[in-house]
């Protein structure tokens, strides 16, 4: 059993991610792999660590699916959530569509609840990457950052004001919400197997990924690393 203290909530940009629950650890991977020999360990030793490396290197992935994590994401922009939803295999999601939902672990829908939205406001507007068509340069702000912020805020205010006006006209919530800027902050519960979580980290903590989801991937890694450090290291190493 890993003795490191668990890090439970991490701020990600202007939202946060919490490791709300989990099942299993490095030992669960080992015991799942050894079940065919009728063996069960209670303490991890060097042989087990070797076995974990072997399993990852040879893509014997099923033992890594017996460890499961549940995260709550709060105040994370819908842009990031949309990218996260692309990770399907070994994952399940419950979306909140606004900030408070994840704390109750219930699905709340913008079809029947009026939005009380918050929006992700970047402090820094980054320049386009010079040779990667979809990326930006981390820390490299446009010269007119304040002007960019004004344009951004004005677009958000217009979108939200249009939403309220449509509701006042009697338009149903499910249509009125369509004018909402995609930067609105969402909340969701994401449950993923160890294999799926590491697959996400590998793809999203990568220089080609958007900085905001990269920050999320780094936070997720920090949260789960104390639970199964050997499996995570072996899986990341095997997929280089």
Which residues would be at the binding site for ligand FAD (CB under 6 A)? 86-89, 196, 199, 203-204, 208-209
Q: How far is the CB of 83 from ligand FAD (least distance, A)?
A: 7
**Catalytic position from the list 40, 65, 126, 204:** 204
Q: How far is the CB of 109 from ligand FAD (least distance, A)?
A: 24
Upper half-sphere CA count for residue 225 (Cβ side, 13 Å): 11
Query: Which CB sits closer to ligand FAD, 203 or 233?
Result: 203
SS3 111: coil
Assess contact for 143 and 196: CB atoms under 8 A.
no
Rounded to the nearest 10°, the torsion over CA 43, 45, 48, 50 is 160
∠ Cα 23 26 30 (to 5°): 105
Query: Which CB sits closer to ligand FAD, 27 or 224?
Result: 224
Q: Is 111 a catalytic residue?
A: no
CA 197 to chain centre: 9
Q: How far is the CB of 189 from ligand FAD (least distance, A)?
A: 17
Query: Which CB sits closer to ligand FAD, 173 or 202?
Result: 202
Q: How far is the CB of 68 from ligand FAD (least distance, A)?
A: 15
Strands, sheet with 91-95, edge to edge from the N-terminal-most edge strand: 9-12, 15-23, 68-77, 185-193, 91-95
Query: Which CB sits closer to ligand FAD, 113 or 211?
Result: 211
**Annotated active-site positions, please?**
204
């Amino acid at each position: 059993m890993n003795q490191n203290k668990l890090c439970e909530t991490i701020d990600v940009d202007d939202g946060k991610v919490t490791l709300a629950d989990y099942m299993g650890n490095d030992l669960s991977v080992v015991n799942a792999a050894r079940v065919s020999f009728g063996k069960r360990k209670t303490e991890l030793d060097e042989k087990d660590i070797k076995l974990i490396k072997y399993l990852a290197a040879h893509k014997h992935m099923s033992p890594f699916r017996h460890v499961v994590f549940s995260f709550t994401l709060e105040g994370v922009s819908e842009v990031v959530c949309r990218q996260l939803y692309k990770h399907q295999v070994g994952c399940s999601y419950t979306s909140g569509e606004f900030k408070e939902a994840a704390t109750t672990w219930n699905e709340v829908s913008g079809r029947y609840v009026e939005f009380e939205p918050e929006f992700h406001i970047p402090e820094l507007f980054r320049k386009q990457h010079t040779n990667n068509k979809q990326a930006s340069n981390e820390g490299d702000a446009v010269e007119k950052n304040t002007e960019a912020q004004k344009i951004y805020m004005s677009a958000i205010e217009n979108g939200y004001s249009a939403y309220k006006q449509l509701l006042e006209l009697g338009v149903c919530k499910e249509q009125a919400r369509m004018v909402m800027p995609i930067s609105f902050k969402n909340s969701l519960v994401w449950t993923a197997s160890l294999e799926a979580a590491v697959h996400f980290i590998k793809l999203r903590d990568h220089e080609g990924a958007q900085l905001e989801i990269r920050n999320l991937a780094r936070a997720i890694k920090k949260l789960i690393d104390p639970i199964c450090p050997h499996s995570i290291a072996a899986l990341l190493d095997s997929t280089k």
